[in-house]
Structure 1
């Protein structure tokens, strides 16, 4: 059997969304730094653009599979197999959250004749994986997703010097992002705060009326432009918030490419978001972030960045049918957690902003810009 330290071509499988891909970046870098291999990331079409920005990634394959809840039209298995066989990978690592099974991906990798295959697994995978770790999460412990992924690759000898989230920042995208801000009426020479109400799953949504209250209170307190961001299709949602504060809040949802959005987060003084990919982009750009954290997966708090985490429960009707996720909710969140109030959000914003040097009521900074 091949040794991991002799592998020249390694495939990293992370078939989820943008934030998941970003959280796997330290483990991906660990493989690069330890084995000096060519690294290919296989991810969903949603995660592909983020994967291309991870330092050390040489190539990206985008495929959509039916066992990941992202797309209704998965790629054909024969197409995926032909692609993987043609690449002739020496090894593959499958990254998952604790509520996912690595075995569907392991079947593909085995059929693609990739000799070394590593993943977490609860049952004995026998020949589907050449290397595996019994998945203790969440029944014995819960690690942050970054640590979960690093612990996996460490089992085959891969380590990283710096375990923070990092992205290759597309500086040229800031020029085009600023042009779009100017077109939206935003003075791009002033400090700004970014508010991101949009979510990929409705169960993690913070109420729109509360977002309006947060925006109004923040506008009164901080005296800086408030940018309301979101994905394409969320423009009506953010525009309704904007209309309640004309000239102070600016709806810019759907206006930016991922590269531009990352630079927008990079230059924001503060980000306020639900627990979605925006929180992990903020961590990767070291932008202070307030996260309105719906109690779904406790692994996904912002990693190693100034942050305030404000948890709230999700309704029983929206809770997952996945028994692993239900176990976590029943055993770790025994008491109901009430909805975060707008006042709590604004107070958390004030604390983080003051730590960064911005003063309420003036919008002025204590250091030169």
Structure 2
């Protein structure tokens, strides 16, 4: 355990001891579904977290079909739940907004008079637990991490270390009597969105060969396979595929570097519009990417993937579904360090995955 980890552990233990002194309001959860008519699910996280929350959303709506289900999200992630038949309303809250705006949003939540608030966060941060409490919901469910349980009326049992993130999120619902089979993560595109994407590709000169998508972005540097490797991979597969490079505005530079390194050229779609990306992604035969939000979006759309995993915890963040290949250097002693900056400064867990290894995986799926 590093010094940083020891300090964090001591802090959480101390904070938990303080918060547990507060009077907790534990109560009975109504047995009848009709007693919980207004439900709030809090998911102020990034793209992948929201995608992997869709099974819990479906499970909640199946258990309480007459309830109105509201999901609280970051502005960037709200579009992921458009057209989701299990969601009645999305409310956005920017955690980085001025305090006045955040207070106004919380007052609006409280006015909705929720019966149930669900916080599936298993992290140590208090923000979402406080939001659950501030919503005024009479039943509040979440995990007991670092004293967060002080804000809930019922707590879920913490998952073991081998659980997948979808199981972690669904585990929050067990105090509500939801133990059924696990739905798959799903995104819902309209026919109009798919047709628009197909039309755009045709206007770019796409001729109908199998389309290989590449998304080189990731939140942390340690999660990113080298740009040169992506270019080498794409160039070597052009006999079999047309290539389209994806990215958000922050990825524009790396997308252009990869594109310029592909001798035969490639299409590129750099956009902040997450639904436009999803529509174009749905036209791909498969996606090559890092372990990031786009990976879980592809899996939720039923698109096969080849992905690169280094510092990420393997059981927790594996893509779900058929045709999902993960390349990982399991023999390294530092693998799965869960750090945003490489402790050794080498990024060896990514550099050791070669373009040939990736090409072999792609051709197995093609």
Q: TM-score range by the shorter chain?
A: 0.7 to 0.9
Is 1:21–2:46 an aligned residue pair?
no
Using the size of structure 1 for normalisation, the TM-score is 0.80
Structure 2 unaligned residues grouped into runs of 5+: 1-27
> Which residue does the alignment assign to 1:251?
268
Is 1:282–2:301 an aligned residue pair?
no
- The more displaced of 56-65 and 190-199 is 190-199
Q: Would you say the 8 A contact 1:55–1:166 is kept in 2?
A: no
Is 1:135–2:158 an aligned residue pair?
yes
> Which residue does the alignment assign to 2:235?
216
Using the size of structure 2 for normalisation, the TM-score is 0.81
Is 1:262–2:289 an aligned residue pair?
no
Distance 1:278 1:336, change over 3 A: closer
> Which residue does the alignment assign to 2:362?
349
SS of corresponding position for 1:56 = coil
Distance 1:75 1:51, change over 3 A: farther
Distance 1:301 1:184, change over 3 A: same
SS of corresponding position for 1:262 = helix
Is 1:170–2:190 an aligned residue pair?
yes
Shift of 1:160: 5.0
Distance 1:17 1:132, change over 3 A: same
> Which residue does the alignment assign to 1:197?
216
Shift of 1:125: 4.6
**In 1: Cα distance, 2:50 partner to 2:37 partner:** 22
> Which residue does the alignment assign to 1:302?
319
RMSD across aligned positions (CA) = 2.8
Shift of 1:108: 2.5
**In 2: Cα distance, 1:73 partner to 1:173 partner:** 34
Q: Would you say the 8 A contact 2:193–2:279 is kept in 1?
A: yes
Q: Would you say the 8 A contact 1:290–1:348 is kept in 2?
A: yes
**In 1: Cα distance, 2:30 partner to 2:81 partner:** 26
Structure 1 unaligned residues grouped into runs of 5+: 66-70, 327-334, 354-369
Q: Would you say the 8 A contact 1:94–1:102 is kept in 2?
A: no
> Which residue does the alignment assign to 2:176?
156
Distance 1:147 1:244, change over 3 A: same
Q: Would you say the 8 A contact 2:232–2:262 is kept in 1?
A: no
Count of aligned positions: 327
* Per-residue deviation, residues 84-122 of structure 1 (Å, max 9, x unmatched): 1111110011122x4x12633222222331111111113
